[in-house]
Amino acid sequence: MAKVVCVLYDDPIDGYPKSYARDDLPKIDHYPGGQTLPTPKATDFQPGTLLGSVSGELGLRKYLEENGHTLIVTSDKDGPDSVLEREIVDADVVISQPFWPAYLTAERIAKAKNLKLALTAGIGSDHVDLQAAIDGGVTVAEVTYCNSISVAEHVVMMILGLVRNYIPSYQWVVKGGWNIADCVTRSYDVEGMHVGTVAAGRIGLAVLKRLKPFDMHLHYTDRHRLPEAVEKELGLTWHATREEMYEVCDVVTLNCPLHPETEHMINDETLKRFKRGAYLVNTARGKLCDRDAIARALESGQLAGYAGDVWFPQPAPKDHPWRSMPHHGMTPHISGTSLSAQTRYAAGTREILECFFEGRPIRDEYLIVDGGKLAGTGAHSYSAGNATGGSEEAAKFKRG
Q: At 182, is the secondary structure helix, strand, or coil?
A: helix
285 is catalytic: yes
What's the pLDDT at 183?
Answer: 97
314 is catalytic: yes
Q: How do residues 126-175 score in pLDDT, each as one tens digit? A: 899 999 999 999 999 999 999 999 999 999 999 999 999 999 999 999 99
What's the pLDDT at 398?
Answer: 66
What's the pLDDT at 177?
Answer: 97
How far apart (Å, rounded) are the C-alpha atoms in residues 185 and 179? 11
**How far is residue 80 from each of residues 95, 320, 387, 395, measured CA to CA in Å?**
19, 22, 20, 9
179 is catalytic: no
Residue 292: which H helix or E strand, with range? Answer: helix 291-300
Sheet containing 70-74, strands listed edge to edge, beginning at the edge strand earlier in sequence: 70-74, 3-7, 93-96, 117-120, 139-142, 367-370, 373-374
Average pLDDT, the chain: 95
**How far is residue 396 from each of residues 20, 77, 380, 400, measured CA to CA in Å?**
33, 12, 34, 6
97, 165, 255, 314: the catalytic one is: 314
285, 327, 328, 350: the catalytic one is: 285
**How far is residue 181 from each of residues 79, 178, 187, measured CA to CA in Å?**
48, 9, 10
Task: Provide the whole-model pTM.
Answer: 0.94
What's the pLDDT at 258?
Answer: 87
Q: What is the DSSP letter of 78?
A: S
Residue 236, φ and ψ in degrees, nearest 5:
-85, 145
How far apart (Å, rounded) are the C-alpha atoms in residues 144 and 348? 9
Chunked mean pLDDT (size 10), the chain, 400 residues:
97 97 93 93 97 98 98 96 97 96 96 98 94 97 97 98 98 97 98 98 97 98 96 98 98 93 96 98 96 98 97 91 97 97 98 98 97 93 77 68
97, 147, 165, 282: the catalytic one is: 147
How far apart (Å, rounded) are the C-alpha atoms in residues 206 and 192? 19
333, 344, 350, 363: the catalytic one is: 333
What's the pLDDT at 264?
Answer: 97
Q: How do residues 203-214 score in pLDDT, each as one tens digit? A: 999 999 999 999
Q: How far is CA 164 from the centre of its chain?
A: 24
What's the pLDDT at 334?
Answer: 97
333 is catalytic: yes
